[in-house]
């Protein structure tokens, strides 16, 4: 009986311990549940929401680029594309191969996918193919169950309706490279493009806009069930250029087939109306992608279609430089406009003989300043260059914008070169020679200029000697504020006397309208007078033996040995409004370049873009008195 009672007590104690343990365990569990469900409720609710709700960035529409009259030079259009979320597929390579059975994926695209896969995070969308046709896009949608991680998407792509005629000005957009990443998540979006050249690059941040976002509900496999909320991005700012696209196209057509460049600008406010570099390229190809063959053809083309020759091409100015030599001599008091020099075809300095271009015909005889500019007499300018010296010539050249980078919104601009004694000694260790001053006096030797610099030089000559700067964007401030920026109302004076300027301008009018003018064949047909100056810049020295045997005609030489043909001009001659510079690489002569320039200037005057109403506040302001 006692034993049975003892067993009963033992069982009761064990039962009590067991029940107590269970109660304690239940208490712990209940406490934990209270902690998780009540105290930590907000945190776990947020984590659960993050598994169910995805927040995705939405790329903003890129701002448009417009010409001065509102024509679209760069715009956006619909882009059917396919993206991949790498973490949602176990085998990316297999998925890509399956997609390749539906739409073509080229080798360069596969290489790009491989690079992006290594540098992007696996949860970020990766662009596989884009710019699909509707039929291709529909085929991908039908076969989505066999393509894990693949998502069809409709975005926007950049489009340049005027193609190669504006490629060097507007530039292009292209895929973001690893060097472009700055931590901005916008740059990691699939298919996102940034400006890589031209205006697209300079104003890229303002044109991009600000990203939007979309909250979507997804299932356990990451598939989108529905969109819960969307906040569209802020479009990029539109940008208005000074370019007249009609004039730009006309100039492009006139330069077709040449390796050449031309710039047309307003002589008073510096607005660039046309800026053509030929040959060019299709900027849309940078967005769509190049084949290896087409890229190689571009890169290896000896006429350099990828280079913007208007700002990066550097050429001896030849005789277009003679106006500045004349100004240096006039302003220093070394000569007057009536100063006369006798040209018999050559002149001697020490043991060296320097020739005039007319040496085979006995020279120009006695010439004054006006006639020397009209007929481009080299002997006259050898003489006055020696009298005035290279230092004053260099100082005058810099006043007119040569030898420096100009204030214009493009990348890749080169400064050219205006040599002097200090430069040569520092560069070569050899003192300056008097013969080099003579060669500089006719725009040869070490001198290098760009077509844009020559246009600015011509504008400053014809506007009364004011330091106008070239302008390519009418609304610089619009990229951040949406307001139009006013150009300087009165550029600073260069301090050149009107008598000196008038003497030089008279000579430039005689170049086209004088009886012996080197560009007398380039007169305009509508009665408006154009003033200008031809230039023929040698690319190699003519040897004594070649002179003795006779210089071959330009067309008989290999293309790369022919002289560059240059022409600078302004019109109307009696009331200047437009300045033009033209360089035809290995074009043979300045007289031939003048014929091309005449056709472009005729188009300028026929369109008269400064008289037509342009968009923006600048259009409503009438031109100042005396400025056309």
39 lies in a domain? no
5 lies in a domain? no
Residues 231 and 252 in one domain: no
Whichever domain contains 319, its CATH number is: 3.40.710.10
Which pLDDT value is given to residue 120?
74
559 vs 148, which has greater pLDDT? 148
441 lies in a domain? yes
Q: Which of 158-172, 268-282, 484-498 has the lowest mean pLDDT?
A: 484-498
Residues 459 and 594 in one domain: yes
Q: Which of 88-92, 160-164, 315-319, 519-523 has the lowest mean pLDDT?
A: 88-92
Which pLDDT value is given to residue 86?
86
341 lies in a domain? yes
Chosen domain end from 238, 264, 298: 238
Is the confidence at residue 389, as pLDDT, over 80?
A: yes
3 — pLDDT class (breaks 50, 70, 90): low
Q: Which of 94-108, 337-351, 562-576 has the lowest mean pLDDT?
A: 94-108
| pTM assigned to the model | 0.82
Long-range contacts (CB closer than 8 Å, 24 or more residues apart) made by 415-422: 416/314, 416/447, 416/448, 416/449, 416/450, 416/453, 417/314, 417/446, 417/447, 417/448, 418/394, 418/447, 419/390, 419/394, 419/445, 419/446, 419/447, 420/390, 420/391, 420/394, 421/390, 421/391
Chosen domain end from 209, 238, 267: 238
Q: What is the mean pLDDT of residues 482-501?
A: 78
The catalytic residue among 280, 319, 462, 581 is 319
Whichever domain contains 88, its CATH number is: 3.90.1310.10
Is the confidence at residue 617, as pLDDT, over 50?
A: no
Residues 329 and 234 in one domain: no
Give CA angle at 272 (266, 276), nearest 5°: 125
Residues 362 and 502 in one domain: yes
Q: What is the mean pLDDT of residues 310-339?
A: 97
Q: What is the mean pLDDT of residues 474-489?
A: 53
Residues 217 and 100 in one domain: yes
549 — pLDDT class (breaks 50, 70, 90): low
135 lies in a domain? yes
Residues 207 and 316 in one domain: no
108 vs 454, which has greater pLDDT? 454
Residues 67 and 169 in one domain: yes
Range of the domain at 430: 245-283+308-616
User: Percent of the chain beyond pLDDT 70?
Assistant: 86
340 lies in a domain? yes
Residues 466 and 583 in one domain: yes
Which pLDDT value is given to residue 189?
76
Residues 222 and 264 in one domain: no
User: Percent of the chain beyond pLDDT 90?
Assistant: 55
Residues 208 and 229 in one domain: yes
Residues 510 and 586 in one domain: yes
485 — pLDDT class (breaks 50, 70, 90): low
540 lies in a domain? yes
156 lies in a domain? yes
Q: What is the mean pLDDT of residues 251-276?
A: 96
Which pLDDT value is given to residue 220?
57
319 catalytic residue (yes or no): yes
Residues 313 and 171 in one domain: no
Q: Backbone phi, then psi, for 32, in 5-degree steps?
A: -65, -40
26 — pLDDT class (breaks 50, 70, 90): confident
Provide the domain count of the chain. 2
Q: Which of 93-97, 107-111, 403-407 has the lowest mean pLDDT?
A: 107-111
Element (H, E) at 264: strand 260-266
Q: What is the mean pLDDT of residues 453-457?
A: 98
Measure Cα distances from 163 to 174, 275, 282, 585, 617 in Å. Answer: 15, 14, 5, 23, 28
11 vs 120, which has greater pLDDT? 120
Is the confidence at residue 106, as pLDDT, over 60?
A: yes
479 — pLDDT class (breaks 50, 70, 90): very low
């Amino acid at each position: 009986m006692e034993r049975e009672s003892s067993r009963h007590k033992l069982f009761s104690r064990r039962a009590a311990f067991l029940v107590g343990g269970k109660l304690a365990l239940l208490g712990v569990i209940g406490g934990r549940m209270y902690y998780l469900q009540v105290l930590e409720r907000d945190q776990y609710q947020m984590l659960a929401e993050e598994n169910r709700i995805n927040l995705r960035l939405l790329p903003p529409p890129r701002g448009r680029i417009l010409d001065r009259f509102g024509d679209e030079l760069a715009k956006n259009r619909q882009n059917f594309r396919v993206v991949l979320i790498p973490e949602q597929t176990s085998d990316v390579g297999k998925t890509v191969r399956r997609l390749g059975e539906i739409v073509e994926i080229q080798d360069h695209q596969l290489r790009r996918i491989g690079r992006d896969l290594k540098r992007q995070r696996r949860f970020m969308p990766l662009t596989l193919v884009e710019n699909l046709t509707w039929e291709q896009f529909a085929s991908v949608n039908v076969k989505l169950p066999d393509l894990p991680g693949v998502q069809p998407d409709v975005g926007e792509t950049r489009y340049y309706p005027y193609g190669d005629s504006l490629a060097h000005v507007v530039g292009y957009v292209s895929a973001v490279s690893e060097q472009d990443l700055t931590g901005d998540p916008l740059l990691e979006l699939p298919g996102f493009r940034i400006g890589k050249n031209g205006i697209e690059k300079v104003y890229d941040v303002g044109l991009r806009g600000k990203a939007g976002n979309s909250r979507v509900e997804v299932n356990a496999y990451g598939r989108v069930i529905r969109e819960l909320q969307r906040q569209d991005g802020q479009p990029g700012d539109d940008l208005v250029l000074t370019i007249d696209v009609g004039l730009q196209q006309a100039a492009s057509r006139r330069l077709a087939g040449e390796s050449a460049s031309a710039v047309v600008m307003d002589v008073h406010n510096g607005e660039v109306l046309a800026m053509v570099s030929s040959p060019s390229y299709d900027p849309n190809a940078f967005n769509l992608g190049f084949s290896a063959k087409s890229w190689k053809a571009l890169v290896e083309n000896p006429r350099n279609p990828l280079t913007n020759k208007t700002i990066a091409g550097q050429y001896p100015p030849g005789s277009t430089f003679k106006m500045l030599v004349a100004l240096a001599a006039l302003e220093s008091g070394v000569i007057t406009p009536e100063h006369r020099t006798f040209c018999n075809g050559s002149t001697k300095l020490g043991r060296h003989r320097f020739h005039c271009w007319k040496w085979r015909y006995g020279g120009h005889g006695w010439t004054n300043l006006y006639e020397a500019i009209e007929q481009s007499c080299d002997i006259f300018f050898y003489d006055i260059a020696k009298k005035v010296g290279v230092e004053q010539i260099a100082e005058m050249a810099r006043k007119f914008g040569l030898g420096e980078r100009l204030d214009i919104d493009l990348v890749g601009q080169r400064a050219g070169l205006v040599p002097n004694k200090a430069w040569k000694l520092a560069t070569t260790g050899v003192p300056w020679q008097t013969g080099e001053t003579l060669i500089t006096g006719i725009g040869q030797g070490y001198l290098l200029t760009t077509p844009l610099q020559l246009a600015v030089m011509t504008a400053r000559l014809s506007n009364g000697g004011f330091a106008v700067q070239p302008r390519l964007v009418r609304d610089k401030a619009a990229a951040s504020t949406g307001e139009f920026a006013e150009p300087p109302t009165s550029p600073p004076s260069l301090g050149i006397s009107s008598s000196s300027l008038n003497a030089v301008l008279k000579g430039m009018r005689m170049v086209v309208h004088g009886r012996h003018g080197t560009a007398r064949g380039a007169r305009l047909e509508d009665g408006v007078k154009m003033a200008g100056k031809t230039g023929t810049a040698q690319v190699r020295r003519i040897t004594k033996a070649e002179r003795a045997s006779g210089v071959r005609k330009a067309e008989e030489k290999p293309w790369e040995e022919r002289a560059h043909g240059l022409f600078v001009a302004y019109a109307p001659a009696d009331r200047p409004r437009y300045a033009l510079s033209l360089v035809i690489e290995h074009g043979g002569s300045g007289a031939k370049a003048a014929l091309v320039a005449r056709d472009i200037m005729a188009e300028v005057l026929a369109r008269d873009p400064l008289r037509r109403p342009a968009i923006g506040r600048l259009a409503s302001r009438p031109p100042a008195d005396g400025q056309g």
